[in-house]
Structure formats: structure tokens, C-alpha cells
Amino acid sequence: MKQPIVIIGVGEMGGVFARGFLRLGHPVYPVTRGQNLAQAAGEIPDPEAVLVAVGEKDLPEVLEQLPEAWQDKVILLQNELLPADFAQLPEATVISVWFEKKPGMDFKVIIPSPCFGPRCALLRDALGKLDIPVRILGDEDQLLFELVLKNLYILTTNIAGLKTGGTVGELWAEHRDIARDVAEDVIRLQETLTGRSFDHEALIAAMLQAFEGDPGHKCMGRSAPARLERALDHAEQQNMELPTLAQLAAEMH
């Protein structure tokens, strides 16, 4: 029998990964919201991996409570993730998920999902069982670019979508100025949060590849207003101004 895999947070995304792990022959142990992590680690002290599949807002609390025995086995998949968020977990494997899973529908692949860390082969093999492509990255700089790219895609489409509605294809075809202005604010925020500078045109070109992967993807999810608020909070903490985002927030109130 292969070693078990623990999944913390059994929502839509956790369910897709669980299917892949099961098809590889790994027993999967779910840890739900109310369960005690330390107690669970006592019962499963040496899993193959611990997939943290909770939403962005619950991640800090889960990582704070993560038992020591599991800390070198963690896999993270959240959006709005940057290296500072998992700096205390040097052995973490991080996958930037580029497939969508909504209730009552099967998953939909947009582009291959890039991954970096010691458990990438496990993820590639598990998701490969479901025909979800995974691209293994070579170093931490590549991972940083991919995390910033995912943040750029999500924040640009969600925040611009608050004004434009519609799909990502329509956003770029019909509202390119708004999309670019939002994207520039988002990239500057990512640069400030990471202390690094990026090639803006390379990021925008990569974002457009994702647009082409699923042009009918709706711009605005339920969490769009919260994402805008979070971005402006980050900017305020960093004493920086994001004029386009601030204007969109003012128009919403």
C-alpha cells in the first residue's frame, strides 16, 4: 500500500486532487474545518504529502497550526500567494492551479499548471491521471514569476470585471485600456510586495496566453470585491497609491 496523503480542506479543488491521488493508489485522509490538526498528525504521522486546499483567507491560520511532523510535506495551491506567505516552510511544494472547478461541473483546464518543489512529480503523476497537465519549474525565480502571473490574471480580470462584466476575451477586445490600467497597478503592487521588479510586457503577454486558453472565462467571481479591497489594503500598508484601483473602488460605493 502506498503512503497516505492528507488533504486539509475538502472543497471543489481538494476533491480534484483527491481523485488523482486515489487513482495513483494513495489512500487519502481528509481533514475538515473543525478537526484538530495536531490530533490528526498523531494518527497520520508520516504521510507522503499534506495538501493544504483551504481558501486564501483561511491559509494563514492553517499554516500557523500546522504540526511540525507535516511541515516538510506541504503542498500549497492557493491564489494570491507570494513567497513571503510560505517563507517558514522551505520544503513546501507550490502549484499555480490553472484549471477551474465549479460545483456541479467537472474541471476545465485553461493552461498547464506550473509547479515547484519536492513533490512536483507526485502532482504531475496524480493530475496526469485526470489529463490535467502540470509543468515542473526549474527554480524559485520561475516560481515567483508564475505566482505573480496568476495574481495578475486573477486580480486584473476580477477587478476590471467589476466595471466591465463579461468574459476575459471581451475584456481584452473591448475594454483594453481599463484592463491595462488595472494590470499596471497590480504589477506595481506585486513588485512592492515581493521587493522585485518584473518585465511588465512579459507578464501581460503571459496573461494574454491564459486569456486565449479560455476566452469565455467570466471576469468576475464572487470574491472580486474582496480581492479589490485586499489589494487596496496591501497598498495602504506599503504606503503606495494604486490610482486605477482606488477609482474603481470609489465608483462602487
Say yes or no: 77 and 146 in one domain. no
Domain boundary among 77, 101, 136: 136
Q: Which three cell numbers stand for residue 166?
A: 463579461
Q: Which pLDDT belongs to residue 6?
A: 98
Per-residue pLDDT tens, the chain, 253 aa: give them: 899 999 999 889 999 999 999 999 999 999 987 889 999 999 998 999 999 999 988 999 999 999 999 999 999 999 999 999 999 999 999 999 999 888 888 889 999 999 999 999 999 999 999 999 999 999 999 999 999 999 999 999 999 999 999 999 999 999 999 999 999 999 999 999 999 999 999 999 999 999 999 999 999 878 899 999 999 999 999 999 999 999 999 998 7
Q: Which pLDDT belongs to residue 222?
A: 83
Q: Which pLDDT belongs to residue 253?
A: 78
Q: Which pLDDT belongs to residue 213?
A: 94
Q: How many helices (H) does the chain have, and how many strands (E)?
A: 10, 9
Q: From CA 37, how far away is CA 44, in angstroms rounded?
A: 10
Closest CA to 141 of 196, 63, 70, 187: 196
29: which strand partners?
Answer: 6
Say yes or no: 48 and 144 in one domain. no
Say yes or no: 83 and 155 in one domain. no
Name the domain count of the chain.
2
The per-residue pLDDT for range 178-188, each reduced to its tens digit, is 999 999 999 99
Q: From CA 85, how far away is CA 147, in angstroms rounded?
A: 11
Say which CATH number the domain at 56 has.
Answer: 3.40.50.720
Say yes or no: 118 and 210 in one domain. no
Say yes or no: 19 and 131 in one domain. yes
What does the DSSP assignment read for 129-190?
Answer: TTT--EEE-SSHHHHHHHHHHHHHHHHHHHHHHHHH-SBHHHHHHH-HHHHHHHHHHHHHHH
Q: Which three cell numbers stand for residue 176?
A: 483594453
Say yes or no: 122 and 146 in one domain. no
Q: Which pLDDT belongs to residue 252?
A: 85
Q: From CA 180, how far away is CA 157, in angstroms rounded?
A: 10
Say which CATH number the domain at 169 has.
Answer: 1.10.1040.10
SS3 state of residue 3: coil
Angle at 68 between CA 67 and CA 73, to 5 degrees: 90
97, 102, 108, 112 alpha-carbon torsion, rounded to 10°: 0
Q: From CA 8, how far away is CA 31, in angstroms rounded?
A: 5
Say yes or no: 224 and 112 in one domain. no
Say yes or no: 182 and 151 in one domain. yes
Q: Which pLDDT belongs to residue 214?
A: 94
Domain boundary among 112, 136, 160: 136
Q: Residue 227 sits in which domain range?
A: 140-252
Q: From CA 235, how far away is CA 104, in angstroms rounded?
A: 37
Distances (CA, A) of 225 to 61, 150, 167, 231, 235: 22, 18, 17, 10, 16
Q: How does 43-67 read in b/e, with b if 16+ C-beta sit within 10 Å?
A: ebeebbbbbbbbebeebeebbeebb
Straight-line distance from the first to the last Cα atom of the chain, in angstroms, rounded to the nearest whole number: 56
Say yes or no: 105 and 82 in one domain. yes
Distances (CA, A) of 226 to 78, 222, 231: 15, 8, 9
191 burial type by CB count under 10 A (0-12 exposed, 13-18 middle, 19+ buried): middle
Closest CA to 115 of 91, 143, 150: 143
